[in-house]
Amino acid sequence: MLAGRHVVLAVSGGVAAYKAAYLARRLLEVGAEVRTVMTDASRQFLGPQTLAAITGSAPVLGLFDQEEVSPHTTLGQWADVIVVAPATAATMSRLATGLSVDAISATVLASRCPVVVAPAMHTEMWEHPATARNVATLIGDGCVIAGPATGALAGGDEGLGRMLDPDEILEIVAGAISPGAMYGWKILVSAGGTREAIDPVRYIGNRSSGKMGNAIALAAAEAGAQVTLVTTVAAPAHRNIDEVQVESAQDMADAVWKAAPQVDAAVLAAAVADFRPADPAVGKLRRAEGLPQVHLEPTPDILAGVAAMVDRPYLVGFAAEVGSLEVAIEKAQRKGVDLLVANDVARTGSGFGTDTNEVTLITPDGATEAWELLSKAEVGTRLIAEIVRRHQPAGER
Active site residues: 206
Query: For 114, how many CA atoms within 13 A lie in the half-sphere containing its CB?
Result: 20
d(CA 389, CA 387): 5
Q: 331-366 burial by CB neighbour count: b if 16+ within 10 A, else e?
A: bbeebebbbbbbbbbeeeebbeebebbbbbbbbeee
Q: How does strand 196-197 pair with strand 203-204?
A: antiparallel
How many residues does this entry show for the chain?
A: 397
d(CA 368, CA 387): 15
Report CA torsion sign: 139, 142, 143, 146.
positive
Report CA torsion sign: 383, 385, 390, 391.
positive
Question: Could you tell me where the beta strands, DSSP code E, fall in 139-285?
Answer: 144-145, 149-152, 158-162, 186-191, 196-197, 203-204, 226-231, 241-245, 265-268, 275-277
d(CA 104, CA 61): 9
Tell me if 272 sits within 8 A of 192, measured CB to CB. Answer: no
Tell me if 263 sits within 8 A of 187, measured CB to CB. Answer: yes
Tell me if 152 sits within 8 A of 110, measured CB to CB. Answer: no
d(CA 191, CA 214): 6
The answer to whether the peptide bond before residue 298 is cis (omega within 30 degrees of 0) is no
Radius of gyration of the chain (CA): 25
d(CA 260, CA 262): 5
